[in-house]
Structure 1
Amino acid sequence: MLQHIVLFCIDRFRGERSIAAIDHLLNGKKTAQTLQDSKWYGVSRLFGTVPIERSRLLHVARELEEKAFVYQTGEHIYRITPTGKEEIRHFVLPSYVDGWKHMNESSSFWKRLSLLVQAIANIVHRTSFEPVHRDESTQLFVKRWLFQHKHIPTTARLLYHEMNELLSGVEEKEANIFVWRLTTHARIGWTNEQIAYAIEEEDVTVLLLFQNVLHYMLDMTEKEKEKFPLLYSLRQQKRTQLTSSAEKTWALLKEGYSLEQIAQLRRLKKGTIEDHIVEIATYVPSFVITPFLEENKRTRIIQHARQLQTNKLRMIKEALPDASYFEIRLALARWEREDV
């Protein structure tokens, strides 16, 4: 599975990004560049889904090169071969995995649910326990939740029925993986590595199947809130996909401040504010980019990007010397949104 994921990313990046970019993508690094790459190259579903060390990615890349699936064009930069193309012709991610869509919620939802299951199981069986998650925000949330649902035996039954209903909607293997991760009064939840060893699967496969169930739960509780009220109540309020720093810039833009004024107010470099504006253009449909980029120049940038078949800024810049890198990035950000 991991080889196919790396090969898929190499194919999508078209020799324009290195293994470091794949590392940032799979680990869910929330930088302007990685967030933009996720959309520009059509790999957003993989965002943050396979958090592994770069050394392992480099090892996989070398294995792919030995198999003649890829060839190296620069330091840690690869392109796919026809043989590699054939190898991933039928590659598909598990149906519900969408790291981009759930980047701000999946981790907190899992922590809350798994700690709640552990707490309820131990309360019902009158046993003491060490919480599986130690961060204060998760513990405080679960304590408050339990205080609001005081009749624990009834709550336990209702939560069981909701989870059983949802887990019946996925493959048995995936449901088992999800349940094995849970800690109760009687057993400690298994790690992905323990599950992988038990069912003789790659750890990355187990991780993706687990996330497939988690993301399925998030999708279904959003679509059918009334059917799964307890699970829905564990979800975070909707948050923008902007980074916190870009959100602050967006708030100032809405108040009418210019790019230069925002840089001065926030004591940040102009380039950092430009990064924020590109990020805002990518994720906020209502954001108007014309104050920063004339429409005729935007059109010319997109035309050259199409002709050159690239998102590589330097190549577009060479073809359009009158366009700044900021303008090119801004045009590509909005172009990708229109094409989604």
Structure 2
Amino acid sequence: MYIIIAYLFFPNYPVKAEDKMVIMMNVSFRQIILLYCLQKLNGERTIYSIYHLLQGKKSSQTIQDAHLFQLSAFFHTDTNITRQQIADHAHELKRNSLIAETLDQHFILTAEGERVLKRGLSISPVPSYLNGWKYGRAGLLLWERLSLAVQVLSHLQHRETKYIPVQRRPETLLWVKEFVQTYGLNRKDLSENLYTELTSLLESGLNIDPNLLVVRLSGCGRIGLTEIQAAQEMKMDPVHYHYQFLNIIHYLALRIEEDHFPIMSAFLERETDILLTKSTEKTYTLLKDGHSLDDIIHIRRLKPSTIEDHIVELALNIPQFSIAEYVNAKKQRQIKEAIKAANTKQLREIRKYAPEASYFEIRIVLAKFGDNS
């Protein structure tokens, strides 16, 4: 399973043919993802909210939707998708009677769509380690650093200095150069330790196929496959391969955070524990300085609705953030009961059961308590 990694580090290691994985589906994996997201949204957001989700748009609305509809795993996981592709897929799914349009660009799954989704997920489930919200950007950086480091160390071990780097970003090139130069081991030991840690991580992962990552690695005398080439090699739907590859990267990031991997831990850049939009961070700073909402509206010269968006985002992302100042305990209970009675996340419907609550108050409670409301 790991013979390619071994060869990259150890010149005399023999290489044999790899097994191939075949997955058959009646619809594309991207369409399965769209059906899954539409099922979660249940007609309460437009089809283009999925576009913003997959792109990882750092807007208050997209971040709130990712959490509210339990879709944070898909945040920033398909940055190549276009609005036109979303529209084309929606048209095809509708033409095939898998989805039905309830309002303009709002869709729900038909009974046939539910059946196709269930069958599709039974063949290719949502990857178990996928966590785009937490590792979307950090995971891509992890892969850049790891793939380049493997290539550099492989060529050093083979005493070859002429090659084209697999990564071109100056920041990544500089990072790997400093990593190799400053790490407290000679290059041979560094290579052996990295090989040991990487194979140990891959061996211990449940429901992952390490070959999906291994075939992408480059080294002396070996050019790793591109994502498209790897999908073809594995006879996989390209988008399905993409998500399975991300699944492995996010798995590595998770394990690196949880366990002791001295070499691999260097590749993971920890993001702040609290992921907020920049505008919300500014509002949060003013709140911590003791300013009221009216003060912040005046200081920042923003609409009240914008500042309210920031408060909802804070309630969503910061566990210790108290909403008592904005919704008293009694009204919180009333809103929670209204959410259960309405059985929807549509604010207009919820407010029918709690007419004394404002939309802002309902949004805060939804953000703070979600499905536990």
C-alpha change, 1:272 and 1:144, in structure 2 (3 Å) is farther
Superposition deviation, residue 107 in structure 1? 1.8
Measure, in 2, the Cα distance between the counterparts of 1:247 and 1:40: 20
Write the deviation string for residues 50-84 of structure 1: whole angstroms up to 9, x where unpaired. Answer: 33122222222222223322111222221111222
Write the deviation string for residues 169-212 of structure 1: whole angstroms up to 9, x where unpaired. Answer: 34798311212222323333322211222222111110111011
Bigger CA drift: 292-301 or 9-18?
A: 292-301
Measure, in 2, the Cα distance between the counterparts of 1:89 and 1:28: 26
Code of the residue aligned with 1:313 in structure 2: it is L
TM-score of the superposed pair, with normalisation by structure 1: 0.91
Measure, in 2, the Cα distance between the counterparts of 1:171 and 1:287: 35
C-alpha change, 1:73 and 1:338, in structure 2 (3 Å) is closer
Measure, in 2, the Cα distance between the counterparts of 1:137 and 1:235: 14
Bigger CA drift: 172-181 or 246-255?
A: 172-181
Query: Could you say which residue in structure 2 is the equivalent of 1:272?
Result: 306
Superposition deviation, residue 337 in structure 1? 7.5
Compare relative contact order (CA 8 Å, sep 6+) and give the higher one, 1 or 2: 2
Identity %: 35
Code of the residue aligned with 1:142 in structure 2: it is V
Q: Does the 8 Å CA contact 2:76/2:137 hold for their aligned counterparts?
A: no
Q: Does the 8 Å CA contact 1:278/1:329 hold for their aligned counterparts?
A: yes
Q: Does the 8 Å CA contact 2:100/2:109 hold for their aligned counterparts?
A: yes
Q: Superposed, which structure 2 residues align to 1:193-204 within 5 Å?
A: 193-204=228-239
TM-score of the superposed pair, with normalisation by structure 2: 0.83
Query: Could you say which residue in structure 2 is the equivalent of 1:3?
Result: 31
What SS is found at the alignment partner of 1:183? Answer: coil
Query: Could you say which residue in structure 2 is the equivalent of 1:132?
Result: 166
Code of the residue aligned with 1:266 in structure 2: it is R
Measure, in 2, the Cα distance between the counterparts of 1:238 and 1:117: 24
Task: Mark the runs of 5 or more structure 1 residues left unpaired by the alignment.
Answer: none
Measure, in 2, the Cα distance between the counterparts of 1:317 and 1:40: 17
Q: Does the 8 Å CA contact 2:53/2:75 hold for their aligned counterparts?
A: yes
Task: Mark the runs of 5 or more structure 2 residues left unpaired by the alignment.
Answer: 1-28
Query: Could you say which residue in structure 2 is the equivalent of 1:261?
Result: 295
Q: Superposed, which structure 2 residues align to 1:40-119 within 5 Å?
A: 40-51=68-79, 52-89=81-118, 91=121, 92-119=125-152
Measure, in 2, the Cα distance between the counterparts of 1:146 and 1:79: 52
Q: Does 1:313 align with 2:347?
A: yes
Equivalent position to 1:208, from 243, 246, 256? 243
Query: Could you say which residue in structure 2 is the equivalent of 1:154?
Result: 189
C-alpha change, 1:77 and 1:26, in structure 2 (3 Å) is same
Query: Could you say which residue in structure 2 is the equivalent of 1:304?
Result: 338
Measure, in 1, the Cα distance between the counterparts of 2:173 and 2:280: 29
Measure, in 1, the Cα distance between the counterparts of 2:233 and 2:367: 44
Bigger CA drift: 251-260 or 266-275?
A: 266-275
